[in-house]
């Protein structure tokens, strides 16, 4: 079964998605019980770009807001708010979001891009099915 082609990951999308993974790992390490385990996608993450990335300029905040919407449209995250105009929002990461975050993290931490060329695949929107396989997600055919 072919997977959805989601398009190229931008630098800002990559920054956000890798931050999400680091955040989840830090929370996991702080809990002595290891209560989250593999259930990271159930965890609500407070979305506060000013504090997280040290952003104060309105233009940059709008850029991160648009990027977050793009990640949501691609199916990597889900945004949640208590009320429609609530100043605080939360995000949860999807299984696909975890997969892409772990893949980017692995590439940056191990430098495996030079050997396996996974970075190039991700740049062109082809996503690996998991971190141990070389299979790529195929672009979805338009049925129009």
Torsion of CA 74, 80, 81, 85, to 10 degrees: 10
User: Does residue 113 lie within any of the structural domains?
Assistant: no
Tens of pLDDT, residues 45-54: 888 888 888 8
Is 91 within a domain?
A: yes
Q: Is residue 101 part of a domain?
A: no
Percentage of residues of the chain with pLDDT beyond 90: 6
Whether 28 is covered by a domain: the verdict is yes
- 75 — alpha (psi -120 to 50), left (phi > 0) or beta? left
User: Are 67 and 12 within 8 A, CB to CB?
Assistant: yes
Assessment of whether the complete model's pTM goes beyond 0.75: no
Distance CA 28, CA 49 (A): 21
Q: Per the domain annotation, does 15 fall within a domain?
A: yes
The domain spanning residue 39 has which CATH number? 1.10.10
Structural domain contains residue 137? no
For the stretch 55-64, pLDDT in tens is 889 999 899 9
Q: How many domains is the chain built from?
A: 1
Structural domain of 36: 11-95
């Amino acid at each position: 079964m072919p997977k959805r082609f989601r398009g190229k990951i931008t630098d800002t999308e990559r920054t956000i998605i890798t931050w999400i993974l680091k955040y989840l790992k830090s929370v996991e390490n702080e809990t002595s019980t290891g209560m989250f385990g593999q259930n990271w996608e159930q965890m609500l993450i407070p979305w506060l770009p000013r504090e997280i990335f040290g952003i104060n300029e309105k233009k940059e905040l709008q850029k991160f807001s648009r990027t977050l919407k793009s990640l949501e449209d691609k199916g990597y995250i889900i945004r949640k708010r208590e009320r429609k105009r609530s100043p605080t929002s939360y995000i949860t990461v999807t299984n696909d979001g975890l997969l892409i975050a772990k893949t980017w993290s692995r590439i940056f931490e191990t430098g495996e891009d030079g050997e396996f060329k996974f970075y190039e695949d991700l740049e062109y929107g082809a996503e690996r099915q998991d971190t141990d396989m070389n299979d790529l997600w195929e672009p979805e055919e338009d049925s129009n």
